[in-house]
């Protein structure tokens, strides 16, 4: 029997490999022949032989069994391992110091600040996986090029801080202020948050599921930049350390085939399979590792299982009958959890004791010996070999399924216990056990008082630790905002055609946005940085010209002749294409937006993403990713197309967006605008480029654009400040001073203009029309002024821009938009009794714009009635005029409220 494979004689186990009985003579001959091939020519040749046999069987009509899994053992057998290159003793001492300080940091925080929180058990299970990476694989730089990008498992942050303390990058005071970010001394954020620690953390990962999808699209973005010639081709890797419970999030596994389709051999997932989520087992009645292996193998990933530590090797080598492997394969995860939590005697009785032959195989081992049988994710040799093979693999991404124990080494305080995630404090005897377990060289008094321990810069441990990081190109995690990047925003006059309007021709604001984008793409120095991103609606948004103009990115080029190749604007895919068309995945598109929008930090390159999508399927679908984008200090433009609950006609309830601006307003760094005209879009985008890339402000933009065609007017004089601040007077009353003011945004501004005409023509009421480009920006400015005045009562008060621009313009205000009334209501505190909100609260309908706007009461007639009603309430017009106007204009006061209809 070959030494390259673990022998086995197993019955079929659900979701497991089915092994044939070896007592059949013919089968035995085949197995012997296979062993000879392995010994003579190696595993690769044997694999090719098996593939050839399967193909021949298929040609002959033989049904071949579909194998979802490999055996429940390490992918790399002992005879294929290379020697561990590091100093095992020193690395163990460093790891013990990090474990000690991480525990002390969390326990101390909760001792002096009850229930401040923090996590011990996740890092306890992950520590060795990370330390092998830090000492041998994670590169801070690659020569003159940027180094690896690492997505750290969010709950492991205490260990990352503890290592940075030994490295000298964080002080003792930092660690004492863990989860105390608002004290006089500097503190540490609970989890990886670039917004809170902008020179340390690169990626926010603790919202589970976001790390995997962002890592995939980050790795793809590296290939995108390489294929476009923007960065040199390098061996840069993207590592993502993930939890096994986290894999139940749709974002975790939803994009796996993207990584294989794109050939992302620069991507490595390390899934920390400690078999537990927050409350209990991930798959108590199953095997999460085998489930994940089947998923990743099916998606085409290179799968490396790292399940058993080196002290299992001898037992497996002596398992000539395959009984041990059979026992390993039949146990479910709930049992494996108990095997570690309940000690060596329990393991002997309940694991080995099921079969007398297995029990006999460990009769020379004590219960303590059995208790120390380790799992692969805690064995540096096994981990090193898994990482080495992963980094050398070509043509596909790799996932390492590392079996670990949650709360590893914490004994009855957490190890393998269902409450492990909530362990935040340790008793004295528990601390003593941990110190003994890891042979921690930490003074006893420091342990007793939960103090940190640093052996000093001249100690062997610290010199070794720093030497390894120096050889690997620098410290990680580390984030560089590249404030030195030179960038000059283009002048507004490059949008001259847009600013002059359409000269009587009807056009949508979507086409206006496209004109702005095209103007940017004509700027030689700027164009290369622009990254248009579209899920799958390019033609809907009138962007098909980009297919030919800049090409659609395709990592393998275009391997076919497109069906429309005889047309000028054919579907052109190219390896150096600039447009990223993701397909129908807003989450994937948002992950690409994130990679591009943080490229200034990760690549030192001011990439400018424009993510254009169906507005309804934006924030409500990718809200968590958008929040993480803000946390990551992302920059760029999100553009919600086919926007508006009444402007997108015909599509109905699921498609008509009337609330994306409400959702956008919840993100502190998102500047959201609802422009009515193309010139407003030009002003907003030009200033956005200036603020984000020239002035280096950490914010991003959301713009809504529409598919309604109407004449785009030329830009009036001196309106740029008002456009950016959120409000300006668009059209004054023609013959007298206005007694009522009509706010409009998006296409509803045209309804306000029409209402202005009706008011004057039918009722002799003069009104001003105002373009409200951003209610959220108006509110933020007003809140900032209010706060200043509250905290500085003795100083000169500040006046919100809203009140400045309305100074001298008295009278009621009717504000209408294609969005929910809550947007307008946010201004009410500064306009008490003056403002009436009209909006699109409620579900959409399949109808044309005329009927939709009447249904939601945002058409010109409803605006007119609201204006007259507001004037009647302050006795500026007779009360009877309201009823007359409703009758004249066909506004039914008894129709159902659209908000509940």
DSSP string, 103-118: HHHHHHHHHHSTT---
What is the percent of the chain with per-residue pLDDT over 90, rounded to a whole number? 83
* Per-residue pLDDT at 23: 55
Same domain, 43 and 94: no
Whole-number Å distance between alpha carbons of 769 and 733: 8
The answer as to whether 842 is a domain residue is yes
Joined together, the tokens standing for residue 54 give: 């399967």
Residue of higher predicted confidence among 272 and 483: 272
**872 backbone dihedrals φ, ψ, rounded to 5°:** -65, -35
The answer as to whether 384 is a domain residue is yes
* Per-residue pLDDT at 537: 84
CATH number, domain of 191, equals 3.40.50.970
Same domain, 665 and 730: no
Asked if the model's pLDDT at residue 17 lies above 50, the reply is: no
Average of per-residue pLDDT across 514-523: 97
888 a known binding residue?
no
Same domain, 705 and 741: no
Asked if the model's pLDDT at residue 16 lies above 90, the reply is: no
What is the average pLDDT value for the chain, to the nearest integer?
93
Same domain, 703 and 737: no
Same domain, 157 and 61: no
Same domain, 699 and 730: no
Among the candidates 430, 456, 472, a domain finishes at 472
782-840 pLDDT, tens per residue? 999 999 999 999 999 999 999 999 999 999 999 999 999 999 999 999 999 999 999 99
DSSP string, 288-333: HHHHHHHHHHHTT-EEEEE-B-GGGHHHHHT-TTSHHHHHHHH--H
Count other C-beta atoms under 10 Å from residue 522's C-beta. 11
Joined together, the tokens standing for residue 59 give: 């040609």
Asked if the model's pLDDT at residue 755 lies above 70, the reply is: yes
The answer as to whether 433 is a domain residue is yes
Residue of higher predicted confidence among 8 and 524: 524
Average of per-residue pLDDT across 698-716: 98
Among the candidates 50, 65, 80, a domain finishes at 65
The answer as to whether 490 is a domain residue is no
The answer as to whether 853 is a domain residue is yes
DSSP string, 366-410: -HHHHHTPPBGGG-HHHHHHHHHHHHH--SS-EEEEEE--TTTT-
CATH number, domain of 783, equals 3.40.50.920
Tell me the CA distances in angstroms from 203 to 98, 143, 631, 761, one per residue in order: 22, 23, 8, 59
644-703 pLDDT, tens per residue? 999 999 999 999 999 999 999 999 999 999 999 999 999 999 999 999 999 999 999 999
The total number of structural domains in the chain stands at 4
Specify the pTM.
Answer: 0.94
The answer as to whether 271 is a domain residue is yes
Q: Are strands 728-731 and 767-771 parallel, antiparallel or unpaired?
A: antiparallel
Closest CA to 405 of 473, 486, 455, 339: 339
Same domain, 607 and 691: yes
363-402 pLDDT, tens per residue? 999 999 999 999 999 999 999 999 999 999 999 999 999 9
Residues forming a β-bridge with 106: none
The answer as to whether 695 is a domain residue is yes
Cβ within 8 Å of residue 517, ≥6 positions away: 530, 532, 610
> Is 619:816 a contact under the CB 8 Å cutoff?
no
Asked if the model's pLDDT at residue 14 lies above 80, the reply is: no
Average of per-residue pLDDT across 828-857: 97
Tell me the CA distances in angstroms from 765 to 42, 735, 759, 871, 877, one per residue in order: 91, 10, 5, 10, 9
Same domain, 134 and 225: yes
Same domain, 467 and 573: no
Question: Domain range for residue 570?
Answer: 505-711
Whole-number Å distance between alpha carbons of 581 and 614: 14
113 a known binding residue?
no
274 a known binding residue?
yes
Establish whether the linkage from the previous residue to 477 is cis, with ω within 30° of 0. Answer: yes
Whole-number Å distance between alpha carbons of 80 and 61: 36
Same domain, 810 and 885: yes
Among the candidates 678, 711, 744, a domain finishes at 711
Same domain, 143 and 266: yes
Same domain, 733 and 680: no
């Amino acid at each position: 029997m070959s030494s390259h494979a673990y022998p086995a004689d197993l019955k079929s186990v659900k979701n497991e490999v089915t092994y044939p009985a070896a007592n059949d003579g013919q089968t035995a001959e085949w197995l012997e022949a296979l062993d000879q091939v392995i010994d003579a020519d190696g595993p690769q040749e044997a694999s090719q032989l098996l593939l050839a046999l399967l193909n021949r069987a298929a040609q002959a009509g033989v049904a071949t069994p579909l194998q979802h899994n490999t055996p429940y053992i390490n992918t790399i057998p002992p005879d294929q391992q290379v020697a561990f290159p590091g100093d095992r003793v020193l690395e163990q001492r460093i790891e013990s110091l990090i474990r000690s300080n991480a525990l002390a940091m969390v326990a101390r925080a909760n001792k002096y600040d009850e229930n401040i929180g923090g996590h011990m058990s996740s890092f306890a299970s992950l520590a060795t996986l990370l330390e092998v990476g830090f000492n041998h694989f994670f590169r801070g730089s690659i020569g003159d090029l940027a180094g690896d990008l690492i997505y750290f498992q969010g709950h492991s942050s205490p260990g990352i801080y503890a290592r940075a303390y030994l490295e000298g990058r964080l002080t003792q005071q930092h660690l004492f202020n863990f989860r105390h970010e608002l004290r006089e001394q500097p503190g540490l954020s609970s989890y990886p948050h670039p917004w809170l620690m902008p020179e340390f953390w690169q990626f926010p990962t603790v919202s589970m599921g976001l790390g995997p999808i962002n890592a995939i699209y980050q790795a793809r973005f590296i290939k995108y930049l390489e294929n476009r010639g923007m960065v040199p081709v390098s061996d840069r890797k993207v590592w993502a350390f993930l939890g096994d419970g986290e894999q139940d999030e749709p974002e975790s596994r939803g994009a796996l085939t993207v990584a294989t389709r794109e050939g992302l051999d620069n991507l490595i997932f390390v899934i920390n399979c400690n078999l537990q989520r927050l409350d209990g087992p991930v798959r108590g009645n199953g095997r999460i590792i085998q489930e994940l292996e089947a998923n990743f193998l099916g998606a085409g990933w290179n799968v490396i299982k790292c399940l058993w530590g080196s002290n299992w090797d001898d037992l497996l080598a002596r398992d000539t009958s395959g009984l041990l492997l059979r026992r390993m394969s039949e146990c479910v995860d709930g049992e494996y959890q108990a095997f570690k939590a309940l000690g060596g005697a329990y393991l002997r009785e309940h694991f080995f004791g099921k079969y007398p032959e297995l029990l006999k195989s460990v009769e020379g081992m004590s219960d303590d010996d059995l208790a120390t049988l380790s799992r692969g994710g805690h064995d540096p040799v096994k981990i090193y070999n898994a990482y080495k093979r992963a980094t050398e693999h070509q043509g596909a991404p790799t996932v390492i399924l590392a079996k670990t124990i949650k709360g590893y080494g914490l004994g009855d305080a957490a190890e393998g216990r269902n409450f492990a995630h909530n362990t935040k404090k340790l008793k004295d005897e528990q601390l003593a056990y941990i110190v003994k377990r890891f042979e921690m060289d930490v003074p006893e008094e420091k342990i007793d008082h939960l103090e940190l321990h640093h052996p000093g810069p001249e100690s062997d441990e610290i010199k070794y630790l720093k030497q390894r990081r120096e050889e690997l190109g620098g410290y990680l995690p580390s984030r560089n905002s590249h404030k030195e990047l030179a960038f000059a925003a283009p002048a507004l006059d490059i949008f001259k055609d847009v600013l002059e309007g359409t000269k009587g021709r009807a056009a949508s604001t979507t086409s206006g946005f496209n004109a702005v984008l095209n103007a940017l793409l004509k700027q030689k120095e700027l164009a290369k940085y622009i990254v248009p991103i579209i899920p799958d609606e390019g033609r809907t948004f009138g962007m098909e010209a980009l297919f030919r103009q800049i090409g659609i990115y395709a990592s393998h080029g275009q391997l076919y002749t497109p069906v429309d190749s005889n047309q000028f604007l054919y579907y052109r895919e190219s390896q150096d294409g600039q447009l990223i068309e993701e397909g129908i995945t807003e989450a994937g598109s948002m992950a690409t937006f994130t990679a591009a929008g943080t490229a200034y930090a990760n690549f030192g390159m001011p990439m400018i993403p424009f993510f254009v999508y169906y507005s309804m399927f934006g924030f409500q679908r990718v809200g968590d990713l958008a929040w993480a984008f803000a946390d990551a200090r992302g920059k760029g433009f999100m553009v919600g197309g086919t926007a508006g609950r009444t402007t997108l006609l015909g599509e109905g309830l699921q498609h008509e967006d009337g609330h994306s601006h409400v959702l956008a307003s919840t993100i502190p760094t998102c500047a959201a605008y609802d422009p009515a005209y193309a010139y407003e879009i030009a002003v907003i985008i030009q200033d956005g480029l200036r603020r984000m890339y020239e002035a280096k402000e950490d914010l991003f933009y959301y713009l809504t654009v529409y598919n309604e065609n109407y004449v785009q007017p030329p830009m009036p004089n001196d309106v740029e400040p008002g456009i950016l601040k959120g409000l300006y007077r668009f059209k004054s009353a023609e013959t007298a001073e206005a007694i009522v003011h009509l706010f409009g945004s998006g296409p509803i501004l045209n309804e306000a203009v029409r209402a202005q005409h009706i008011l004057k023509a039918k009722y002799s009421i003069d009104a001003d029309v105002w373009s409200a480009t951003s209610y959220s920006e108006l509110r933020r400015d007003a809140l900032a002024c209010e706060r200043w005045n509250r905290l500085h009562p003795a100083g000169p008060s500040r006046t919100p821009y809203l009140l400045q621009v309305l100074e001298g313009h008295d009278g009621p205000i009717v504000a209408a938009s294609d969005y929910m009334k809550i947007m307008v209501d946010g201004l009410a505190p500064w306009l008490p009794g003056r403002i009436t909100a009209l909006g699109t609260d409620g579900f959409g309908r399949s109808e044309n714009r005329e009927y939709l706007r009447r249904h939601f009461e945002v058409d010109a007639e409803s605006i007119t009635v609201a204006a007259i009603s507001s004037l009647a309430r302050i006795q500026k017009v007779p009360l009877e005029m309201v009823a007359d106007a409703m009758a004249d204009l066909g506004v039914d006061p008894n129709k159902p409220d659209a908000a509940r209809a």
